[in-house]
């Protein structure tokens, strides 16, 4: 099966890794729109155009399904994209929303981009909804372990009693160690892992193709850390 996965940048690679871990024998084609990130502060019209262009690119690659590994696109454009394209489309948020409705968790927070929080998709499901607009740019700039990241984490989470934290943007699993250093040992809900446990894929053979609209050294480092074999390209 040929599986197309896309995100605004590197964050969707965490989802891709979860899918490959669960279903290792598929042809995965990834697109990270690093040239136009971050998506969290763009208008819905801009998001619709960007995501439509990416899906068109993936369709040209003859994918069988599309996985939206971006919380912002999932919360703002899913219905639009499903109506526009005649291909199965899976989003990153719906499995986690279903999970939260099935379980009872105390002291639960979701951290996500501004657009995802403002979409209201997590309303009445958590105790806290926290916009974290600085996280994605800092991650993409390779500043995961920087003072700026430490200050951002403290600024967003100070004073919150959190036992369960939903990583509502696919970039955020890359910050789990940083978050644990600040919050202590808590339960993290990784949307990529939730999706991988919900979706059913037909294993055939393995190949991984990674495409980005702009490549930098941080991307190479992260890809090398997450994956063994892959083909990487810059696509404008």
**Phi then psi dihedrals of residue 35, to 5 deg:** -70, -35
Is 132 one of the catalytic residues? no
- Catalytic residue flag (residue 223): no
**The one catalytic residue among 77, 132, 169, 223:** 169
Report all structural domains of the chain as residue ranges with CATH numbers, in order of start.
2-92+194-234 (3.40.50.1860), 94-191 (3.40.50.1860)
Residue among 70, 77, 132, 223 flagged as catalytic = 70
Which segments of the chain have a pLDDT < 50?
none
> CA-CA distance, 129 to 94, in Å (whole number)?
17
Global pTM value:
0.92
The per-residue pLDDT for 204 is 83
Which pLDDT value is given to residue 98? Answer: 95
Please tell me the predicted confidence (pLDDT) of residue 192.
96
Residues 6+ apart with CB under 8 A from 47: 39, 72, 73, 76, 77, 115
Q: Report the Cα 182 to chain-centroid distance in Å.
A: 22
> pLDDT value at position 200?
86
Model confidence pLDDT, tens digit, residues 161-194: 999 999 999 999 999 999 999 999 999 999 999 9
């Amino acid at each position: 099966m040929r599986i197309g996965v896309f995100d605004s940048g590197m964050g969707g690679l965490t989802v891709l890794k979860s899918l490959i871990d669960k279903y290792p024998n598929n042809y995965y084609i990834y697109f990270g729109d690093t040239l136009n990130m971050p998506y969290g502060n763009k208008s819905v019209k801009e998001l619709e155009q960007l995501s439509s262009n990416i899906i068109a690119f993936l369709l040209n690659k003859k994918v069988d399904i599309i996985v939206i590994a971006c919380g912002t696109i999932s919360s703002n454009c899913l219905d639009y994209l499903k109506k526009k394209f005649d291909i199965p489309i899976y989003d990153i948020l719906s499995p986690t929303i279903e999970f939260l409705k099935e379980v009872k968790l105390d002291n639960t927070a979701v951290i996500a981009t501004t657009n995802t929080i403002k979409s209201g998709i997590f309303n009445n499901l958590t105790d806290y909804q926290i916009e974290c607009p600085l996280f994605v740019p800092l991650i993409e700039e390779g500043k995961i372990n920087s003072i700026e990241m430490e200050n951002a984490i403290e600024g967003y989470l100070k004073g919150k009693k959190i036992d369960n934290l939903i990583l509502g943007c696919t970039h955020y699993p890359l910050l789990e160690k940083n978050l644990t250093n600040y919050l202590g040992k808590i339960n993290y809900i990784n949307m990529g892992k939730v999706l991988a446990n919900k979706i059913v894929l037909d294993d055939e053979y393995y190949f991984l193709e990674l495409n980005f609209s702009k490549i930098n050294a941080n991307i190479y480092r992260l890809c090398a850390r997450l994956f063994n074999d892959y083909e990487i390209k810059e696509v404008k």
